[in-house]
Amino acid sequence: MVQEVIVPPEQLPTFMYRCDSSFFLEPLEGLGEVKVQFGLIVIDRSEAALGMLRGANIKTLKHMYSQVPSKHGKGGQSKQRFERLIEEAAHEWYKKVAHSATECFLGNDIEGLLIGGPGATKDYFIKREYLNHELQKIIVDSFDTGYTDETGLREIVTRGANRLSEVQLVKEKNIMSGFMKEVLSTKGNLATYGYKQIEMALEMGAVDHLLISEGFEKMPNIEKGTVKRLGDIAQKSKATVTIISTDSEEGISLQKAFGGLAAMLRYPIS
């Protein structure tokens, strides 16, 4: 009798207990796929949370509380002075959240940022450009949320689902347009497709960008685990890997015209 414990590369979103005559591996199969990541920030003057969305998994990276005082009820000069101190404290709070965002997101290969929170705080945070300029330029959108903790992170993902889909679709269209331009060019020597050709190019370290249709492993004569194996080879040579959905004309073309597998090369190969 053999018993092995397997630790998945990321947390499973569901719990399942099942007794059967064969192993039930379907929930694990998707974990090996390369997934797009988005940064998440929810903020108000009292607290903030930062998280990462990878596939369908939301991971809380940081949850912070501020020291910004509440509004002062007295009048006169005392009120003006206290309000000035409140604004100074709020300014330092925004800087602190922005610094944490730099630590959490910069250099972590995220596609974009979603920012949420109640009221106008999030809009002020964005408009005054507290974030690092590299993060500021990849803000996808902002949304009103009722919470600024882990619940707020889940809320912002729900509210921003359509925008995330749009962003990813546009990215995939641009990638496929670049590939097609190279295929149709007079030289056409920096694009390749077909399983054997792709495998050879990967082994040579010649692939710069690997494009895989999301339906590739469901195609006839394609073994399960192929995507993970190709992705592992690509990772060794530091090639970029993108899973292309079939929700666009370009994605359908990749699957039907090019066998679900294509690549942009670093240099021509014979």
Tens digit of each residue's pLDDT (9 = 90 or more) over 99-112: 999 999 998 889 89
Cα-Cα-Cα-Cα dihedral sign, residues 213, 32, 30, 155: negative
Q: Is 154 found in the same domain as 186?
A: no
Q: What is the CATH number of the domain that holds 218?
A: 3.30.1330.30
Residue 144 belongs to a domain: yes
Q: Is 192 found in the same domain as 155?
A: no
**The residue to which tokens 């090369």 are assigned:** 265
Report pLDDT for 192. Answer: 94
- Which residues span the domain enclosing 151? 37-159
**The residue to which tokens 């942009």 are assigned:** 264
Residue 21 belongs to a domain: no
pTM for the whole thing?
0.68
Residue 74 pLDDT more than 60? no
Tens digit of each residue's pLDDT (9 = 90 or more) over 201-230: 999 999 999 999 988 888 888 888 888 899
Q: What is the CATH number of the domain that holds 135?
A: 3.30.420.60
